[in-house]
Amino acid sequence: MADLEIRNLHVRIDETEILKGLNLKINKGEVHAIMGPNGTGKSTLAYTLMGHPGYEVTDGEILFKGQDLLELEPNERSVLGMFLAFQYPVAIPGVTLANFLRSALNARRKAVNPEDKGIPVPEFRKFLKAKMDLLKMDHSFAGRYLNDGFSGGEKKRAEILQMATLQPEIAILDETDSGLDIDALRIVSEGVNTLRGPEMGVLVITHYQRILNYIKPDYVHIMLAGQIVESGGADLALHLEEHGYDLLREKYTA
Ligand code: ADP
Ligand code: MG
Ligand code: MG
């Protein structure tokens, strides 16, 4: 069984079915990209994986490390090793990024070992500095208050640092075209390229082919009208760039 297995997923928002039998398998060590036109349900998939209450799963299942993901609260998903970068991260006033990351890391450690007393502050400082060095981030960034006046690029930087800190088994990044300026694009792709490796699987959801010039996915999936209609290697993205979605629409929507 794959580390993350989505089988025949049907999801409704209000009365409208958005995901209509989506199948996807992701393993640690693999980088997957989902592409698809606007309104096709890409963010719906991300929100469903995150456990957003507005998204009703009416059929199918999601297994994460063999467990029924849909039975787990969002924070339980996170401590189990699933990372979801939020499209619009919320501001938490009065909490520094470093403190936020230390709490998140401690929650994850405690889930692995209930006896864990948390990482000692000096050790965490060293750990975080090493991660920031790896990602070529200025150390002062960790002292910033969370999302307090963060630019788009800084929000992305905070997300990538959170990913580096939590060392998830599966990371899901929902990247809209809006707000993904060239700076943010570079931060996300360099971050993913630095952190990708045998211990982490990544799913990049994008409206925006261009990110795939920077992140070379092992697998590309095309989503249309709530389903994955084609899967292939990185060349599928290039093919799509050349031919657009119209041919696929003709093929898959009668
Ligand atoms: P994508 O990310 O591929 O652009 P979304 O998952 O955001 O697609 O949206 C899929 C469909 O669901 C669209 O038709 C959109 O209008 C609809 N939708 C998204 N969010 C909501 C919502 N909160 N309430 C009702 N409809 C929604
Ligand atoms: Mg959209
Ligand atoms: Mg979207």
What number is the average pLDDT over the span 79-93? 75
Contact in structure between 14 and 67 (CB atoms under 8 Å): no
Report residue 235 CA to chain centroid gap.
Answer: 22
Cα gap 40→18, rounded to integer Å: 8
Find residue 67's DSSP bridge partners: 64
- Output the domain CATH number for residue 242: 3.40.50.300
Cα gap 205→200, rounded to integer Å: 16
The runs of H, that is alpha helices, within 24-146 are 42-50, 74-79, 97-112, 121-134
Q: Give yes or no for residue 42 CB within 6 A of ligand 1.
A: yes
Whose Cα sits closest to atom 19 in ligand 1? 44
* Counted domains in the chain: 1
Look at strands 67-68 and 227-232 and give their pairing.
unpaired
Cα gap 27→199, rounded to integer Å: 9
Q: Is the pLDDT of residue 87 over 60?
A: no
Query: What does residue 206 show for φ and ψ, rounded to 5 degrees?
Result: -140, 145
Which residues are close to ligand 3, an ion, with C-beta < 5 A?
42-43
The runs of H, that is alpha helices, within 170-245 are 182-195, 235-243
Average pLDDT of every residue of the chain:
90
Range of the domain at 118: 4-252
What number is the average pLDDT over the span 81-86? 85
**Angstrom distances, CA of residue 87 to CA of 66, 177, 190, 212, 249:** 27, 11, 18, 18, 27
Overall pTM surpassing 0.80 (yes/no): yes
Mutate to test the pocket of ligand 1, among 10, 11, 13 (most ligand atoms within 8 A of CB): 13
ipTM tops 0.90? yes
pLDDT tens sequence across 194-252 = 999 999 999 999 877 778 888 999 999 999 999 999 999 999 988 887 888 888 888 88
pLDDT tens sequence across 153-179 = 888 899 999 999 999 999 999 876 555
Q: Give yes or no for residue 226 CB within 6 A of ligand 1.
A: no
The one-letter amino acid at 80: L
Residue 217 alpha carbon to ligand 1 centre in Å: 25
Question: Residue 83: its pLDDT value, please?
Answer: 94
- Strand, coil or helix: what is 249? helix
Contact in structure between 153 and 190 (CB atoms under 8 Å): no
Question: Residue 32: its pLDDT value, please?
Answer: 97
Cα gap 22→8, rounded to integer Å: 5
Query: What does residue 57 show for φ and ψ, rounded to 5 degrees?
Result: -85, 120
Q: Is the C-alpha dihedral spanning 35, 37, 38, 40 positive or negative? A: negative
Mutate to test the pocket of ligand 1, among 14, 16, 17, 18 (most ligand atoms within 8 A of CB): 18
Among 5-14, 85-94, 188-197, which is the least confidently predicted range?
A: 85-94
